[in-house]
Protein backbone atom coordinates (compact mmCIF):
# COMPACT_ATOMS: atom_id res chain seq x y z
CA UNK A 1 0.00 0.00 0.00
CA UNK A 2 2.74 2.43 0.97
CA UNK A 3 4.70 1.69 -2.21
CA UNK A 4 1.67 2.52 -4.32
CA UNK A 5 1.21 5.79 -2.43
CA UNK A 6 4.86 6.73 -2.96
CA UNK A 7 4.44 6.05 -6.68
CA UNK A 8 1.30 8.23 -6.69
CA UNK A 9 3.16 11.05 -4.93
CA UNK A 10 5.90 10.94 -7.58
CA UNK A 11 3.30 11.15 -10.36
CA UNK A 12 1.57 14.09 -8.69
CA UNK A 13 4.94 15.78 -8.19
CA UNK A 14 5.67 15.60 -11.91
CA UNK A 15 2.15 16.86 -12.65
CA UNK A 16 2.52 19.80 -10.29
CA UNK A 17 5.94 20.70 -11.65
CA UNK A 18 4.71 20.53 -15.22
CA UNK A 19 1.74 22.69 -14.31
CA UNK A 20 3.76 25.37 -12.56
CA UNK A 21 7.14 25.21 -14.27
CA UNK A 22 8.51 27.75 -16.67
CA UNK A 23 6.75 26.53 -19.77
CA UNK A 24 7.55 27.88 -23.19
CA UNK A 25 5.55 31.07 -23.25
CA UNK A 26 4.95 30.87 -26.99
CA UNK A 27 2.58 27.97 -26.34
CA UNK A 28 0.21 30.54 -24.82
CA UNK A 29 0.24 32.80 -27.86
CA UNK A 30 -2.59 32.80 -30.37
CA UNK A 31 -1.96 31.09 -33.69
CA UNK A 32 -2.66 34.41 -35.40
CA UNK A 33 -0.13 36.29 -33.25
CA UNK A 34 2.08 38.80 -35.06
CA UNK A 35 5.83 38.13 -34.95
CA UNK A 36 8.63 40.69 -34.88
CA UNK A 37 12.17 39.31 -34.95
CA UNK A 38 15.76 40.36 -35.51
CA UNK A 39 15.47 44.07 -34.66
CA UNK A 40 18.72 45.73 -33.59
CA UNK A 41 20.05 49.05 -32.39
CA UNK A 42 16.90 50.24 -30.68
CA UNK A 43 14.61 50.00 -33.70
CA UNK A 44 10.97 50.83 -33.00
CA UNK A 45 7.94 48.58 -33.08
CA UNK A 46 4.91 50.71 -33.94
CA UNK A 47 1.35 50.24 -35.11
CA UNK A 48 -1.74 48.62 -33.65
CA UNK A 49 -2.08 44.88 -33.10
CA UNK A 50 -5.62 43.55 -32.49
CA UNK A 51 -4.29 40.24 -31.13
CA UNK A 52 -1.05 38.99 -29.58
CA UNK A 53 2.42 40.27 -30.47
CA UNK A 54 5.64 38.25 -30.23
CA UNK A 55 9.00 40.04 -30.11
CA UNK A 56 11.84 37.57 -30.54
CA UNK A 57 15.64 37.92 -30.73
CA UNK A 58 15.44 41.70 -30.80
CA UNK A 59 16.76 44.86 -29.16
CA UNK A 60 14.04 47.43 -29.73
CA UNK A 61 11.63 50.07 -28.41
CA UNK A 62 7.98 49.06 -28.20
CA UNK A 63 5.70 51.95 -29.15
CA UNK A 64 2.88 49.78 -30.44
CA UNK A 65 -0.66 49.33 -29.16
CA UNK A 66 -1.22 45.63 -28.42
CA UNK A 67 -4.80 44.62 -27.64
CA UNK A 68 -3.83 41.07 -26.68
CA UNK A 69 -0.76 39.71 -24.89
CA UNK A 70 2.86 40.70 -25.46
CA UNK A 71 5.46 37.90 -25.59
CA UNK A 72 9.17 38.68 -25.24
CA UNK A 73 11.63 35.91 -26.11
CA UNK A 74 15.42 36.34 -26.04
CA UNK A 75 15.01 40.09 -26.38
CA UNK A 76 15.70 43.44 -24.76
CA UNK A 77 12.64 45.67 -25.08
CA UNK A 78 12.06 49.21 -23.85
CA UNK A 79 8.47 50.36 -23.44
CA UNK A 80 8.09 53.76 -25.10
CA UNK A 81 5.59 56.50 -24.30
CA UNK A 82 3.11 55.10 -26.83
CA UNK A 83 3.55 51.48 -25.76
CA UNK A 84 0.32 49.88 -24.57
CA UNK A 85 -0.55 46.27 -23.72
CA UNK A 86 -4.15 45.28 -23.08
CA UNK A 87 -3.42 41.76 -21.84
CA UNK A 88 -0.43 40.33 -20.02
CA UNK A 89 3.30 40.50 -20.72
CA UNK A 90 5.14 37.16 -20.82
CA UNK A 91 8.93 37.23 -20.53
CA UNK A 92 11.30 34.41 -21.42
CA UNK A 93 15.07 34.97 -21.20
CA UNK A 94 14.52 38.67 -21.84
CA UNK A 95 14.91 42.13 -20.34
CA UNK A 96 12.00 44.56 -20.15
CA UNK A 97 12.66 48.25 -19.52
CA UNK A 98 9.87 50.56 -18.39
CA UNK A 99 9.91 54.14 -17.15
CA UNK A 100 10.19 52.86 -13.58
CA UNK A 101 11.65 49.36 -13.61
CA UNK A 102 14.02 46.97 -15.32
CA UNK A 103 12.93 43.33 -15.34
CA UNK A 104 15.38 40.63 -16.41
CA UNK A 105 14.06 37.10 -16.05
CA UNK A 106 14.26 33.58 -17.42
CA UNK A 107 10.49 33.50 -17.05
CA UNK A 108 8.01 36.07 -15.77
CA UNK A 109 4.44 37.22 -16.23
CA UNK A 110 2.98 40.60 -15.35
CA UNK A 111 -0.15 42.57 -16.21
CA UNK A 112 0.24 44.84 -19.20
CA UNK A 113 -1.54 47.63 -17.34
CA UNK A 114 1.42 47.96 -14.97
CA UNK A 115 3.78 48.99 -17.78
CA UNK A 116 2.39 52.47 -18.18
CA UNK A 117 0.47 53.03 -14.97
CA UNK A 118 1.86 56.53 -14.60
CA UNK A 119 0.50 57.49 -18.03
CA UNK A 120 -3.22 57.05 -17.35
CA UNK A 121 -5.72 57.39 -14.55
CA UNK A 122 -6.91 54.39 -12.57
CA UNK A 123 -10.02 52.90 -14.16
CA UNK A 124 -9.32 54.32 -17.62
CA UNK A 125 -9.99 51.92 -20.49
CA UNK A 126 -6.72 50.98 -22.22
CA UNK A 127 -6.96 49.32 -25.64
CA UNK A 128 -10.54 48.37 -24.92
CA UNK A 129 -9.73 46.72 -21.59
CA UNK A 130 -9.88 48.07 -18.09
CA UNK A 131 -6.58 47.86 -16.15
CA UNK A 132 -8.52 46.53 -13.18
CA UNK A 133 -10.37 43.96 -15.28
CA UNK A 134 -10.67 40.24 -14.65
CA UNK A 135 -7.78 39.42 -16.98
CA UNK A 136 -5.37 40.74 -14.35
CA UNK A 137 -6.41 38.01 -11.94
CA UNK A 138 -6.97 35.11 -14.33
CA UNK A 139 -3.72 33.33 -13.42
CA UNK A 140 -4.86 33.09 -9.79
CA UNK A 141 -6.98 30.13 -10.89
CA UNK A 142 -3.78 28.33 -11.91
CA UNK A 143 -2.20 29.12 -8.56
CA UNK A 144 -5.22 27.82 -6.63
CA UNK A 145 -5.14 24.63 -8.73
CA UNK A 146 -1.44 24.26 -7.95
CA UNK A 147 -2.21 24.56 -4.23
CA UNK A 148 -4.86 21.86 -4.60
CA UNK A 149 -2.38 19.43 -6.18
CA UNK A 150 0.29 20.38 -3.64
CA UNK A 151 -2.06 19.68 -0.73
CA UNK A 152 -2.91 16.23 -2.13
CA UNK A 153 0.81 15.44 -2.30
CA UNK A 154 1.35 16.74 1.23
CA UNK A 155 -1.63 14.75 2.53
CA UNK A 156 -0.27 11.51 1.01
CA UNK A 157 3.26 12.08 2.30
CA UNK A 158 1.85 12.94 5.73
CA UNK A 159 -0.02 9.62 5.69
CA UNK A 160 3.20 7.79 4.80
CA UNK A 161 5.36 9.28 7.55
CA UNK A 162 2.63 9.17 10.19
CA UNK A 163 3.47 10.07 13.80
CA UNK A 164 7.22 9.58 13.25
CA UNK A 165 7.61 13.31 12.61
CA UNK A 166 6.04 14.33 15.93
CA UNK A 167 9.40 14.67 17.76
CA UNK A 168 10.63 17.06 15.04
CA UNK A 169 7.41 19.08 15.29
CA UNK A 170 7.95 19.42 19.04
CA UNK A 171 11.62 20.38 18.61
CA UNK A 172 11.00 23.07 16.00
CA UNK A 173 10.25 25.80 18.55
CA UNK A 174 13.61 25.26 20.25
CA UNK A 175 15.77 24.60 17.19
CA UNK A 176 14.13 26.71 14.43
CA UNK A 177 17.20 28.93 14.05
CA UNK A 178 19.45 25.88 13.92
CA UNK A 179 17.39 24.27 11.15
CA UNK A 180 17.35 27.57 9.26
CA UNK A 181 21.15 27.79 9.16
CA UNK A 182 21.47 24.09 8.34
CA UNK A 183 19.27 24.70 5.30
CA UNK A 184 21.28 27.80 4.37
CA UNK A 185 24.57 25.91 4.64
CA UNK A 186 23.18 23.08 2.55
CA UNK A 187 22.37 25.33 -0.40
CA UNK A 188 25.72 27.10 -0.12
CA UNK A 189 27.55 23.77 -0.37
CA UNK A 190 25.10 22.15 -2.82
CA UNK A 191 26.88 23.14 -6.10
CA UNK A 192 30.20 21.74 -4.86
CA UNK A 193 28.55 18.55 -3.61
CA UNK A 194 26.75 17.96 -6.92
CA UNK A 195 29.97 18.34 -8.91
CA UNK A 196 31.77 15.91 -6.60
CA UNK A 197 28.96 13.37 -6.84
CA UNK A 198 28.86 13.51 -10.64
CA UNK A 199 32.63 13.10 -11.14
CA UNK A 200 32.94 10.26 -8.63
CA UNK A 201 31.85 6.65 -9.05
CA UNK A 202 28.41 7.52 -7.71
CA UNK A 203 27.47 8.92 -11.09
CA UNK A 204 24.41 10.62 -12.46
CA UNK A 205 21.80 7.80 -11.96
CA UNK A 206 22.47 7.63 -8.23
CA UNK A 207 22.48 11.44 -8.09
CA UNK A 208 19.01 11.50 -9.67
CA UNK A 209 17.80 8.97 -7.09
CA UNK A 210 19.24 11.10 -4.29
CA UNK A 211 17.47 14.15 -5.73
CA UNK A 212 14.13 12.32 -5.63
CA UNK A 213 14.86 11.23 -2.07
CA UNK A 214 15.64 14.80 -1.09
CA UNK A 215 12.46 16.16 -2.72
CA UNK A 216 10.47 13.62 -0.70
CA UNK A 217 12.33 14.63 2.47
CA UNK A 218 11.78 18.31 1.63
CA UNK A 219 8.04 17.67 1.52
CA UNK A 220 8.37 15.99 4.92
CA UNK A 221 10.21 19.06 6.22
CA UNK A 222 7.45 21.31 4.91
CA UNK A 223 4.83 19.07 6.52
CA UNK A 224 6.61 19.40 9.87
CA UNK A 225 6.51 23.17 9.47
CA UNK A 226 2.80 23.03 8.60
CA UNK A 227 2.00 20.94 11.68
CA UNK A 228 4.00 23.31 13.88
CA UNK A 229 2.23 26.38 12.43
CA UNK A 230 -1.20 24.78 12.69
CA UNK A 231 -0.56 23.84 16.32
CA UNK A 232 0.36 27.45 17.13
CA UNK A 233 -2.72 28.85 15.37
CA UNK A 234 -5.19 26.30 16.75
CA UNK A 235 -3.70 24.59 19.84
CA UNK A 236 -6.87 22.60 20.55
CA UNK A 237 -7.38 21.44 16.96
CA UNK A 238 -6.61 17.76 16.33
CA UNK A 239 -5.75 18.20 12.65
CA UNK A 240 -2.96 20.79 12.49
CA UNK A 241 -1.87 20.04 8.91
CA UNK A 242 -4.73 21.73 7.06
CA UNK A 243 -4.80 24.98 9.14
CA UNK A 244 -1.03 25.33 8.69
CA UNK A 245 -1.27 24.81 4.93
CA UNK A 246 -4.22 27.19 4.65
CA UNK A 247 -2.31 29.85 6.60
CA UNK A 248 0.64 29.93 4.18
CA UNK A 249 -1.56 29.60 1.08
CA UNK A 250 -3.80 32.52 2.10
CA UNK A 251 -0.80 34.75 2.86
CA UNK A 252 0.72 33.96 -0.54
CA UNK A 253 -2.57 34.64 -2.34
CA UNK A 254 -3.06 37.94 -0.51
CA UNK A 255 0.45 39.10 -1.38
CA UNK A 256 -0.11 38.07 -5.00
CA UNK A 257 -3.40 39.98 -5.25
CA UNK A 258 -1.92 43.08 -3.59
CA UNK A 259 1.07 42.90 -5.93
CA UNK A 260 -1.25 42.87 -8.95
CA UNK A 261 -3.53 45.58 -7.61
CA UNK A 262 -0.82 48.05 -6.61
CA UNK A 263 1.94 46.89 -9.02
CA UNK A 264 4.58 47.39 -6.35
CA UNK A 265 7.71 45.27 -6.00
CA UNK A 266 7.51 45.30 -2.19
CA UNK A 267 4.89 42.54 -2.27
CA UNK A 268 7.07 40.37 -4.51
CA UNK A 269 9.99 41.00 -2.16
CA UNK A 270 7.92 39.91 0.85
CA UNK A 271 6.81 36.81 -1.05
CA UNK A 272 10.41 35.99 -1.93
CA UNK A 273 11.56 36.41 1.69
CA UNK A 274 8.74 34.24 3.04
CA UNK A 275 9.39 31.58 0.41
CA UNK A 276 13.13 31.60 1.20
CA UNK A 277 12.56 31.20 4.94
CA UNK A 278 10.10 28.34 4.35
CA UNK A 279 12.48 26.55 1.98
CA UNK A 280 15.49 26.93 4.29
CA UNK A 281 13.55 25.74 7.35
CA UNK A 282 12.04 22.84 5.40
CA UNK A 283 15.48 21.89 4.10
CA UNK A 284 16.98 21.87 7.59
CA UNK A 285 14.10 19.70 8.82
CA UNK A 286 14.44 17.43 5.77
CA UNK A 287 18.14 16.84 6.49
CA UNK A 288 17.30 16.11 10.13
CA UNK A 289 14.65 13.63 8.98
CA UNK A 290 17.09 11.89 6.61
CA UNK A 291 19.65 11.68 9.41
CA UNK A 292 17.05 10.02 11.64
CA UNK A 293 16.19 7.50 8.89
CA UNK A 294 19.87 6.57 8.48
CA UNK A 295 20.30 6.09 12.24
CA UNK A 296 17.28 3.78 12.41
CA UNK A 297 18.62 1.61 9.58
CA UNK A 298 21.94 1.26 11.38
Where do the domains of the chain lie? 29-137, 141-297
Q: What are phi and psi of 109, to 5 degrees?
A: -140, 135
Quick: pLDDT tens for 138-184.
Answer: 566 777 888 888 888 888 888 888 888 888 888 888 899 999 999 99
Torsion of CA 173, 162, 227, 188, to 10 degrees: 60
Angle of CA points 105, 53, 106, to nearest 5°:
10
State the pLDDT at residue 252: 84
H or E segment to which residue 253 belongs: helix 241-262
H-run or E-run covering 16: helix 2-20
pTM over 0.75: no
**What is the CA angle 278-281-283, rounded to 5?**
105
Cα dist from 227 to 69, 186, 215, whole Å = 41, 23, 18
Q: What is the pLDDT along the chain (298 residues), one digit of tens a residue?
A: 544 454 455 555 545 544 444 445 566 677 778 888 888 877 899 889 988 899 988 999 998 889 888 989 889 998 888 888 888 888 888 888 877 777 777 677 777 666 654 443 433 333 433 344 444 455 667 778 888 888 888 888 888 888 888 888 888 888 999 999 999 998 888 888 777 766 766 666 777 777 777 788 888 899 999 999 988 888 877 788 888 898 888 888 887 777 666 655 677 778 888 888 999 999 999 888 888 877 776 6
For the stretch 97-130, pLDDT in tens is 877 777 777 677 777 666 654 443 433 333 433 3
Amino acid sequence: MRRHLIFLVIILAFFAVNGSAEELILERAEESAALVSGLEGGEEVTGEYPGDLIIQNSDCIMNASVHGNLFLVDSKVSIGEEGRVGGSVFIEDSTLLTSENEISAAYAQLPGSSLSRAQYEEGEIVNGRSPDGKNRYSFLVDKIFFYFILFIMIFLVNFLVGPRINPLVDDLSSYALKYFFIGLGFYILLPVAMVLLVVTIIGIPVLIFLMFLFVFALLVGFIILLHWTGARLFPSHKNTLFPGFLFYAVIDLFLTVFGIQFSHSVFSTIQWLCFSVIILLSTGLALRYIKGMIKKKK
